[in-house]
Amino acid sequence: MKTIIKVAMLSFIAPVFAADYQAAYAPPELNGCVLEKYSVCQGADLRGADMSNINLRGVDFSGADLTGANLNHANLRGANLKGATLNRVTAYRTGLYRADLRGATIHDAQLQGAQGEYLFAQGADFSGSDMTGANFNFSKLSGATLKNVDLSFASLEIAWLPKADLEGATLFGANLQEVKLDYGNLNKADMRNTRIHYGTFVDTYMDDCKNCPVDW
């Protein structure tokens, strides 16, 4: 009889524990967007969302509004953020390997230490953002706007930046070795202690630039 009671109790308790477990470990959801890897949330309203430390690999956030979102330490490897709005996001050491930011707007963002090797960001607008120590090696940033950004100690080795606008940008101690920055704008930029070995700067504007390779 005791055995029967125990079995009956377990059969009742087990589903309750299972439901509690699933609820506790279910991925967060915001405005219909499930915040987990490979989610499709095109045009979603994710303003102010806390996505820190979440694995968002391969998500489709194209056209989404992430204004003021917290992306610290999030994994956005291979994510589609084409045309998204990321103004004032915090993305400290966020993984952006092979992410697509083409045409995205990222004004006044905190991107310190972001890991964006092989990033696709053609035509993106990073104006006023802090990208100190970020890694954008091998990235494609042609036609990107980087006005007044802080790229101190950042690495853009072998990055493609033709026609990019870096007016007023701080590149102190940055790694621009083998960078392609032809027909761009470095007016009023700060390139002190910047490494530019084998970089190209064909017809790039350099008025009032500190330590720019004006005799390139």
22 domain-assigned: yes
Q: Looking at this protein, which amino acid is placed at residue 211?
A: N
Q: Residues 167-173: what's their mean pLDDT?
A: 98
Q: What is the pLDDT of residues 64-104, one digit of tens each?
A: 999 999 999 999 999 999 999 999 999 999 999 999 999 99
128 domain-assigned: no
12 domain-assigned: yes
State percent of the chain over pLDDT 70: 88
188 domain-assigned: no
Query: Tokens in use for 208?
Result: 């009032």
Whether residue 19 has pLDDT greater than 90: no
How confident is the prediction for the chain on average, in pLDDT? Answer: 92
205 domain-assigned: no
16 domain-assigned: yes
Q: Which domain holds residue 9?
A: 2-29
Asked if 138 and 115 count as a contact pair (C-beta separation under 8 A), the reply is: no
Q: Residues 187-209: what's their mean pLDDT?
A: 97
Of 115, 160, 152, 145, the closest CA to residue 130 belongs to 152
38 domain-assigned: no
Number of independent structural domains in the chain = 1
Q: Residues 179-198: what's their mean pLDDT?
A: 98
Q: What is the pLDDT of residues 101-157, one digit of tens each?
A: 999 999 999 999 999 999 999 999 999 999 999 999 999 999 999 999 999 999 999
Q: Residues 13-42: what's their mean pLDDT?
A: 77
20 domain-assigned: yes
Q: What is the pLDDT of residues 31-69, one digit of tens each?
A: 999 999 999 999 999 999 999 999 999 999 999 999 999
* pTM, entire model: 0.88
Q: What is the pLDDT of residues 101-115, one digit of tens each?
A: 999 999 999 999 999
Q: Name the pLDDT band for 21 (thresholds 50, 70, 90).
A: very low
Q: How far is CA 97 from CA 29, 119, 155, 187, in A?
A: 24, 6, 14, 29
Rounded to whole angstroms, the Cα distance separating 30 from 46 reads 7
